[in-house]
Structure 1
Amino acid sequence: MQNIMPTGLHAMVTSPHYLASHVGSLILKRGGSAFDAAVAVSAALGVVYPHMTGLGGDAFFMLYDAKEGTLHGYNGSGRSGRQLRPEIYTSAGETAIPLRGIRSAITVPGMVDTWWEVWRRGGKLPWEELLEPAAEYAEKGFPISRNLHYWMIKNETDLRACAPLESIYFADGKLLSEGDRLLQPDLARALRELQTGGRDAFYKGSIMKRIIAGMQADGGLLTEEDFTTHSGEWVKPVSVTYRGYEIHQMPPNSQGFTALMMMNILENEDLSQIPRNSAAFYHLIVETVKKAFRDRDRYLTDPDFAHIPLERLLSKSYAKHLYDEIDQQFPRPASFLSSAMGQDTAYAAVTDEEGNAVSFIQSLYFDFGSAYSPGDSGIIMQNRGSFFSLNTSDPNVLAPGKRSFHTLMPGMITRGGKPYALVGTQGGEGQPQTTLSVLTGLLDYGCTIQEALALPRWVYGRTWGEDSDAIKLENRDMLDIAAQLREWGHEVELVGAWDGIMGQSQGIVIGENGVISGAADPRGDGMAIGW
């Protein structure tokens, strides 16, 4: 199952929905920069992929500025409400923050602020032009895609439970079908107001007021002050070297550093001598994942609230120590139980003719986020804050004005300081693991970007909030491999050959000869467009 891998010499766009990729290519053709195109793609995804992302969610952007020759990150994650503390839940007899509903919608959406800052940094076209395609898709509609319809069916009960969502996704009491036109008039109005009012329309103006009015009417916990005081943050990416390349990820509160830890560990092994589709490969990879996740769960939170020892965690000496802990001579799995988490995410990437590159990812956290939309705002609120702990000894404990442990992690690889690859994926727990699969495919196994995305994948952990802590393997002639892993003591589940639980990854590679290759995950509805 292989998509066509477009190549070009000028520009490339890839996203998990073909309409959003088309929007990015239009913006570039009109003279927009990669920064412009990324904002336009991001906005379009918020309309055509509403189960994965939207104005009510967060975003992380990594940008390479060709003129400056510099790499920048923008952390567009929202903070919890200023009045929020664990007692709000524990005093009501709750042992955890609800995963759905209005009491899960407790962090300010960072998406719109991120668009504004990225556009201000490197945009060439007028702001309103970047949001026009998204507004038109919301107003005039678009055909419901395969992936969207799958999640509509899975979340039918939650969608019915929220009147504003029921009015969008149902007709005459029945769930809309794949290929039906989806209209989002209230979301269209919000996008039109953003076009004229800019960022302030969302955080200080009419959109904010509709969101807060709706939430207050329903017993919500966010306030106007939470919105008016919100701002994202420009940050320096964290980086490690790997076999002559530089690998960059977003710093905490993103889990991106875990992928860097994993690559550091694997650098101690000549992976090219271990067959990619072998029990030995999956044993080494999953044990590597466990080592990084153990430290992630020990430390990861908002760095404004706790020290995270990145210098030690990303050191080559620490990686060697972790590598030496892995039992390979007589393989047996280490015990580890990760925290349950969602994987509702959309990753996309853009390069332009000037050499600028943008790797970005956005999310509502779970599929359809909180499954709650306030009043007539047209905006689905994220439930990212549901991942906060109520345990005061936990580093990710809920506190006022705090950013949660965040799964989002757009990546970039440079060679000699210039972009070589842009890689990211949907997937919660699966994000660092799929990143690992793609990067080792590119750097150790000689794959093209399309081949790397199509490699059989695994996911270890409790993505989608499942109770199982097994290794899930895509079943492409995996019976013997699964049997060997079970003999070694691993718990293994075989899933579909191209299973959606593995997430949707996109990528761009820029060759030494200047040829740009782009790819979209065959597991999703995406497309790469280049010329």
Structure 2
Amino acid sequence: MRDFQLPGRSAVYAANGMCATSHPLAAQAAVDILKQGGSAMDAAIAGAVLLGICEPQSTGIGGDCFALVSPAGTEDVLAFNGSGRAPAAADAAQLRARGEAKVSLHSTDAVTLPGAMDMFCTLSDRFGNLGLADSLAPTIHYADAGVPVAPRVAFDWAREGHVLQGAAKLHYLNNGQPLAMGTIFRSPGQAEVLRRIARDGRDAFYTGEVADDMVSTLNSMGGIHTMDDFAQVAGTQTAPVSGDYKGIELIEHPPNGQGATAFLLLNILKHFDISSMDPLGSKRAHIEAEASKLAYDARDRFLADPDHTTRLDHMLAPETAAKLAALIDPRQALASPAPGAEAVHKDTVYITVVDKDRMAVSLIYSTFHSFGSGIASEKFGILMQNRGAGFTLEQGHPNELKGGKRPLHTIIPGMLRRNGRVEMPFGVMGGQFQPHGHSRVLSNMVDFDMDLQTALDAPRVFTEAGKLRVERGYSETVRQELSDLGHDVIIPPAPIGGAQAIRILENGVLEAASDPRKDGCALGY
């Protein structure tokens, strides 16, 4: 139990339904849907789409999503891939011929097709009680009426608003300036788009005037996207992958998600006595940083569109982890492997919902970098993702940019199962950090017996681009010890990631936690 004389927050408990996400209005909208008789999926869609208005720097209907779903009455976990593909005419060879070494973050080359809305429609049809129109109603209201800009959102807007270009400046800036905390953000164009989808379904987004608005905007900026590209968007159901960590089964999305990276990282950590270490000491931070370098290097070599990934079994093999663990020196930092092709980012939203029937939904939804590509459609103001920056231009690489391929994705929803029982949908936002985040939350709970809220609150470290980013929650002594081991230590300008989780206790009660690094909360009834 936490010390109630110190700053912090308690976990939230409820008997019927629960939502945990990164903005209070989205959590409230989800719980309202549950109270109306909606399923966890109805509620998750309602909250997720609203997050695109509450946190437009992080997500929106021009983005992608992934979901893990445990249907009511079962302990099964199903995986759904709502990631869009590159337009048919895309080809790395064309970019190489122009002298490009990588996909430019804020160019039309980086804009892949938006897969989230198609998947929301599919999931609503399959798992919803109320229907898509009910799930979209809260966002339609707030997009018209406006949402006050929350503190973390304002922080991100001020840091990243400069990437907005063209029509996006009109839709997402206030007289050319980022919106400040407490000011009202409205998006009437997106409200109109959602009204059409509520009435006519997914075709209202992927065909007709709305699709033409996106295509014509992209084409005017040199894009090669077509109306046919948009019309053919279709998400897929796939089989999740899973692995064991000290008796807890972690379930992740398969490629083109990076979930396998979390398994490799945890398999490496099994070769060290993590539970004997100080949870906030330099020894644990060092071992995790070294394991992450090796696991992420493997990710960048092997993971790609599932139709092009051939080394997944190698990544998941215990022998692979054992060989990598042997490379770690507890007394000296490894030189960081060369950065992978996947561009770094930290902006994503995650939502988890469990309903009274104990359907559990773990859903993550993103436009990749802050404000995605920075390109918004002229009429409706739909911000388009830059997930194509996740491709490499390296010839012959499994993740090479080609038309119709899905890029390596950083966003990964998670689920825990214990003794065959689904126990906890959870997610950790933060781009590349996410596999490390999943492993750290699980290790906090298993190795150090932290309660759920403490496991999310605990300070974080992450090695990225040759720097070991150490949050201010660590002591200066730890930072110095890590420097002495050879790490290039910095305090990151922004917090590392953000997490949400709901645990289904053995007596059926729901316990939820929400990361203070975001504006959100957990709510139940």
TM, length-normalised to structure 1: 0.94
| 2:502 paired with 1:508 | yes
Give the letter for the 1:456 counterpart.
P
For 2:216 and 2:396, locate their aligned partners in 1 and report how far apart those are by CA, in whole Å.
Answer: 34
Please, which moves more after superposition, 342-351 or 391-400?
Answer: 391-400
Match of 2:516 in 1: 522
Q: Would the aligned equivalents of 2:82 and 2:115 in 1 still touch at CA under 8 Å?
A: yes
3-state SS, counterpart of residue 344 of structure 1: coil
Match of 2:4 in 1: none
Task: Return the offset for 1:172.
Answer: 4.4
For 2:117 and 2:71, locate their aligned partners in 1 and report how far apart those are by CA, in whole Å.
Answer: 21
Match of 1:322 in 2: 324
Q: Would the aligned equivalents of 2:308 and 2:399 in 1 still touch at CA under 8 Å?
A: no
Partner of residue 115 from structure 2, selected from 110, 114, 117: 110
Match of 1:382 in 2: 385
Alpha-carbon displacement from aligned partner over 1:145-186 (angstroms, at most 9, x marks no partner):
112212221233333x323x2223344454432111111111
Task: Return the offset for 1:206.
Answer: 3.1
Task: Return the offset for 1:477.
Answer: 4.7
Give the letter for the 2:142 counterpart.
Y
Match of 2:134 in 1: 129
Alpha-carbon displacement from aligned partner over 1:384-411 (angstroms, at most 9, x marks no partner):
1022222213332111101001101110
Match of 1:466 in 2: none
Task: Return the offset for 1:104.
Answer: 2.5
Match of 1:227 in 2: 230
Match of 2:69 in 1: 63
3-state SS, counterpart of residue 427 of structure 2: strand
For 1:181 and 1:331, locate their aligned partners in 2 and report how far apart those are by CA, in whole Å.
Answer: 50
3-state SS, counterpart of residue 490 of structure 1: coil
Specify whether residues 79 and 377 from structure 1 end up closer, same or farther in structure 2 by C-alpha distance, changes over 3 A only: same
For 2:150 and 2:139, locate their aligned partners in 1 and report how far apart those are by CA, in whole Å.
Answer: 16
Give the letter for the 1:188 counterpart.
A
| 2:363 paired with 1:360 | yes
Q: Would the aligned equivalents of 1:98 and 1:104 in 2 still touch at CA under 8 Å?
A: yes
Give the letter for the 2:132 counterpart.
W
Alpha-carbon displacement from aligned partner over 1:422-463 (angstroms, at most 9, x marks no partner):
22122111111122221111111111111011101012113x
- Residues matched between the structures, number: 517
Specify whether residues 157 and 271 from structure 1 end up closer, same or farther in structure 2 by C-alpha distance, changes over 3 A only: closer
Identity of aligned residues (%): 34
3-state SS, counterpart of residue 479 of structure 2: helix
Give the letter for the 1:478 counterpart.
S
Task: Return the offset for 1:334.
Answer: 4.7
Task: Return the offset for 1:200.
Answer: 1.4
Task: Return the offset for 1:126.
Answer: 2.1
Partner of residue 8 from structure 2, selected from 2, 5, 21: 2
Give the letter for the 1:310 counterpart.
L
Map 1:166-245; keep pairs closer than 5 Å.
Answer: 166-245=169-248
Q: Would the aligned equivalents of 2:459 and 2:474 in 1 still touch at CA under 8 Å?
A: no
For 2:303 and 2:485, locate their aligned partners in 1 and report how far apart those are by CA, in whole Å.
Answer: 31
Map 1:414-425; keep pairs closer than 5 Å.
Answer: 414-425=417-428
Alpha-carbon displacement from aligned partner over 1:243-292 (angstroms, at most 9, x marks no partner):
11111000001011111111222223332211101111011111111221
For 2:196 and 2:130, locate their aligned partners in 1 and report how far apart those are by CA, in whole Å.
Answer: 18
Q: Would the aligned equivalents of 2:290 and 2:333 in 1 still touch at CA under 8 Å?
A: no
Match of 1:141 in 2: 146
For 1:278 and 1:177, locate their aligned partners in 2 and report how far apart those are by CA, in whole Å.
Answer: 37
Structure 2: which 5+ runs fail to align? 1-6
| 2:24 paired with 1:21 | no
Match of 1:435 in 2: 438
Alpha-carbon displacement from aligned partner over 1:113-151 (angstroms, at most 9, x marks no partner):
110111122110022011000111111111011122122
For 1:65 and 1:429, locate their aligned partners in 2 and report how far apart those are by CA, in whole Å.
Answer: 29
Task: Return the offset for 1:336.
Answer: 1.8
Give the letter for the 2:303 counterpart.
L
Q: Would the aligned equivalents of 1:373 and 1:380 in 2 still touch at CA under 8 Å?
A: yes
For 2:471 and 2:178, locate their aligned partners in 1 and report how far apart those are by CA, in whole Å.
Answer: 30
For 1:224 and 1:206, locate their aligned partners in 2 and report how far apart those are by CA, in whole Å.
Answer: 10
For 2:136 and 2:245, locate their aligned partners in 1 and report how far apart those are by CA, in whole Å.
Answer: 38
Q: C-alpha root-mean-square deviation of aligned residues, in Å?
A: 1.7
Task: Return the offset for 1:99.
Answer: 0.8
Q: Would the aligned equivalents of 1:214 and 1:376 in 2 still touch at CA under 8 Å?
A: no
Alpha-carbon displacement from aligned partner over 1:487-517 (angstroms, at most 9, x marks no partner):
221221134xxx6340111111222232211
Specify whether residues 413 and 516 from structure 1 end up closer, same or farther in structure 2 by C-alpha distance, changes over 3 A only: same
Q: Would the aligned equivalents of 1:341 and 1:428 in 2 still touch at CA under 8 Å?
A: yes
Match of 1:350 in 2: 353
Map 1:68-79; keep pairs closer than 5 Å.
Answer: 68-79=74-85
Task: Return the offset for 1:214.
Answer: 2.5
3-state SS, counterpart of residue 70 of structure 1: coil
Q: Would the aligned equivalents of 2:414 and 2:425 in 1 still touch at CA under 8 Å?
A: yes
Give the letter for the 2:162 counterpart.
T
Q: Would the aligned equivalents of 1:156 and 1:175 in 2 still touch at CA under 8 Å?
A: yes
| 2:256 paired with 1:250 | no
Q: Would the aligned equivalents of 2:424 and 2:503 in 1 still touch at CA under 8 Å?
A: yes
Match of 2:415 in 1: 412
Structure 1: which 5+ runs fail to align? 463-468
| 2:153 paired with 1:152 | no
Match of 2:166 in 1: 162
Give the letter for the 1:300 counterpart.
L
For 1:67 and 1:437, locate their aligned partners in 2 and report how far apart those are by CA, in whole Å.
Answer: 30
Partner of residue 469 from structure 2, selected from 469, 472, 479: 472
Q: Would the aligned equivalents of 2:87 and 2:224 in 1 still touch at CA under 8 Å?
A: yes
Task: Return the offset for 1:319.
Answer: 2.4
Match of 2:3 in 1: none
Specify whether residues 500 and 10 from structure 1 end up closer, same or farther in structure 2 by C-alpha distance, changes over 3 A only: farther
Specify whether residues 489 and 168 from structure 1 end up closer, same or farther in structure 2 by C-alpha distance, changes over 3 A only: same
Partner of residue 315 from structure 2, selected from 288, 313, 326: 313
